[in-house]
Homo-oligomer: A and B are copies of this chain.
Amino acid sequence: MTPQGHLHVVILAGGSGTRFWPLSRAKRPKQFLSLAGKVSLLRATWNRARTLVPAERIWAVAPRALATAVLRELPDLRRDRLVLEPSPKDTAPAIALACSVIARIDPRAVAAIFPSDHVIRDTSAFKRAVAVARRAAAAGALVCLGIAPDRAATGFGYLKLGARPRKGVASPVLEFVEKPDAARARRFLRSGRYLWNAGMFVWRVDRFLEVLARVAPEVHAATVAVAAGSRAAWRDAPKISVDHAVMEKASGVAVVPLDAGWDDLGSWDAAARQGSPGRSGRGERVIIGSDGAVVFGGTRCVAVLDLPGVVIVDTRDALLVLPRASSEKVKSVLEAVRAAGRADLL
């Protein structure tokens, strides 16, 4: 047995999401889109994982309905490394299932768990942070990667630290704080002792399963049973996030700051900040008098005149036009599409 278990990467490849409609659809969620570069976010996550470990130690967890799409997008993913959730149950069961499967192969493994729909620009900084996190994990900590806030965001959970975080060091997390209101978010930003919870974790699978058994026994029992072959046990797993089920209740949680050009790409506006999407897609682009206008998707000619900051999302059967500042309101469009009886477009 190695003194330190192998590092495995778990890519959370599931998750729907409606924020990038009409480019994203129920059957083609955000992680399959090329929102920040030439390759999809999922594929970029794979490429990042490959800088950490060989392909045979990269796992993907996804609901059954996305299995084919994931394998198509990740041709180097070993079929036996794709962990299928019988149905979507949020992150706690998905992560627990993956860790249980890994634990059966490599009980001392350290698992690094990454969402597949975020952007990380600086792979070197990312690798350094994971290395620090891995050492802390090997020593027994449940480690988060935390992002230093650059604005008083109300859309993220926060990790409260006892002191300002230091680069290259794992610090204890005092508290998991749910998405704050604007006033609290401003206090967090000023204090300098809060990091964004980016949903990236590094831990020994044995440690995680031990904590899980204590703080979320139903999740533990169900997922260990499914990992052992009893797929029916999945129905007993509650739908719950890993933050609620485990992180908020566990002791020994640490955070390593990640300063690597991270963005969760939470909206069209966020996507517009990445890359040069005005020139994305294969179609002709004519953008006149429209600073900050962006066009996503599309093989057609798209011409924009005198509409600064407009977002145009051009797909075969649906077109969305809105100002970047209204990016958070895409859901109201989806509701109207659904109300019009056009669920086929979702």
Q: How far is the CA of A315 from the CA of B317 in the complex (A)?
A: 12
Q: How far is the CA of A304 from the CA of B298 in the complex (A)?
A: 17
Q: How far is the CA of A302 from the CA of B320 in the complex (A)?
A: 6
Q: How far is the CA of A19 from the CA of B301 in the complex (A)?
A: 17
Query: Is A270 interfacial (CB-CB < 8 Å)?
Result: no
Query: Is A1 interfacial (CB-CB < 8 Å)?
Result: no
Interface pair B305/A321, CB less than 8 Å apart: yes
Of B303, B312, B322, B342, which contacts A336 at CB under 8 A?
Answer: B303
Shortest CB-to-CB span from A310 to chain B, Å, is 7
Shortest CB-to-CB span from A84 to chain B, Å, is 32
Given the contacts A284-B340, A312-B321, A22 and B301 also touching, CB distance less than 8 Å: yes
Interface pair B22/A342, CB less than 8 Å apart: no
Interface pair B301/A326, CB less than 8 Å apart: no
Query: Is A333 interfacial (CB-CB < 8 Å)?
Result: yes
A22 contact set on B, CB distance < 8 A: 301, 303
Interface pair A318/B337, CB less than 8 Å apart: no
The DSSP consensus for interface residues of chain A is mixed
A88 contact set on B, CB distance < 8 A: none
A333 contact set on B, CB distance < 8 A: 286, 288, 303, 305
Nearest-CB residue, chain B, relative to A304: B321
Query: Is A314 interfacial (CB-CB < 8 Å)?
Result: yes
Query: Is A166 interfacial (CB-CB < 8 Å)?
Result: no
Of B303, B318, B332, B340, which contacts A321 at CB under 8 A?
Answer: B303
Query: Taking beta carbons and an 8 Å cutoff, which residues of A are in contact with B?
Result: 22, 284, 286, 288-289, 298, 300-307, 310, 312, 314-323, 325-326, 329-330, 332-333, 336-337, 340, 342, 345
Given contacts A288-B332, A300-B316, 17 further A-B contacts (CB under 8 A): A22-B301, A22-B303, A284-B340, A284-B345, A286-B333, A286-B336, A301-B345, A302-B318, A303-B319, A303-B320, A303-B322, A303-B337, A305-B321, A305-B322, A305-B326, A306-B325, A306-B329
